[in-house]
A and B are shown apart, each in its own frame.
Chain A
């Protein structure tokens, strides 16, 4: 049985240019998410391109998507995981060290401390922390995006909070 939800925004994408507003609206968030996961801007942009290409190939499904950004984040996270696993396997096989993580030039002082505190978290936990603590997604949303069980996401968020509070203790009370 097909259920019709009038609240649901339906997008009909027949032409390439119809995809343009989606790219413009969400590229910033997708690229930041990937940059923080990869810690490498060039690689993140490459993965962001793959993300939009994959989304474009399955654009027919967009009509049933409620939250386009969460849908793109999910694709982006899959792209990151694929690359991360390949890179880990390659490193294991070749015994070569990968390129050092890039520290954004603009990050100084507080931002540098926050970046370091986040980078100390494992990628899966960092993704959950970003989604739930910074981007305001619910834990259920984060579970869908990362394809992890809800219990695992809750655990990651709790541990991330503990680690970040410990690392950023100096900034307590410094924000409004």
Chain B
């Protein structure tokens, strides 16, 4: 018996099964799956522990930046002060940069953990 004969004999054995509503059922399942995934991302419930850890890090960074700000003795209307270090940029720009870096790192941490 040749390979072709065997293939002919097995043709009906491997004939595709008729749909019979199977595709619709699968698509409904997939839609439900996609919906569940969206809810997980939006509500950040997939890994709440890790997300809260990131928020804690963000809080610590924020408090540190706030402490540095308050220790420098500047108020918002009067941003000019001297940190007493030799630096080409002015001290108030350094303070802004520090806060921006803190907020940026916090956001990156929160986003990376959330996803």
Enumerate B24-71 residues with CB–CB distance to A below 8 Å: 25-27, 29-31, 33-34
From the candidates A53, A110, A115, A135, name the one contacting B30 in the complex (CB within 8 A). Answer: A53
One of A23-31, A78-86, A88-96, A143-151 at the interface = A23-31
For B1, B12, B17, B34, the residue with the greatest tally of chain A CB atoms inside 10 Å of its CB is: B17
Q: State in angstroms the CA–CA spacing of A88 and B88 once bound together.
A: 74
A27 touches B26 (CB 8 A): yes
In the bound complex, residues from chain A placing their C-beta under 8 Å from that of B3 are: 133, 161
B10 touches A114 (CB 8 A): yes
B10 touches A134 (CB 8 A): yes
Determine the residue in chain A with the shortest Cβ distance to B11. Answer: A134
In the bound complex, residues from chain B placing their C-beta under 8 Å from that of A48 are: 22, 26
Nearest CB on B from A142, distance (A): 13
Mostly, the B contact residues are helix
In the bound complex, residues from chain B placing their C-beta under 8 Å from that of A31 are: 16-17, 22
In the bound complex, residues from chain A placing their C-beta under 8 Å from that of B87 are: none
B contacts with A, residue count (CB < 8 A): 27
Size category of the binding interface on chain A: 35 or more
**Proximity bits, A132-164, B CB within 8 Å = 1, else 0:** 011110000000000000000000000001001
Nearest CB on B from A112, distance (A): 11
Nearest CB on B from A168, distance (A): 6
From the candidates A20, A129, A175, name the one contacting B27 in the complex (CB within 8 A). Answer: A20
From the candidates B14, B26, B34, name the one contacting A135 in the complex (CB within 8 A). Answer: B14
A172 touches B1 (CB 8 A): yes
In the bound complex, residues from chain A placing their C-beta under 8 Å from that of B27 are: 16-17, 19-20, 23
**Proximity bits, B81-105, A CB within 8 Å = 1, else 0:** 0000000000000000000000000
A–B pairs, 11, beta carbons within 8 Å: A23-B30, A28-B17, A32-B17, A45-B22, A48-B26, A53-B30, A129-B10, A130-B13, A171-B5, A172-B1, A176-B8
Identify 9 new A-B residue pairs, CB closer than 8 A, beyond the known A23-B23, A133-B7: A17-B27, A23-B27, A28-B16, A28-B17, A31-B17, A36-B14, A114-B12, A135-B14, A171-B5
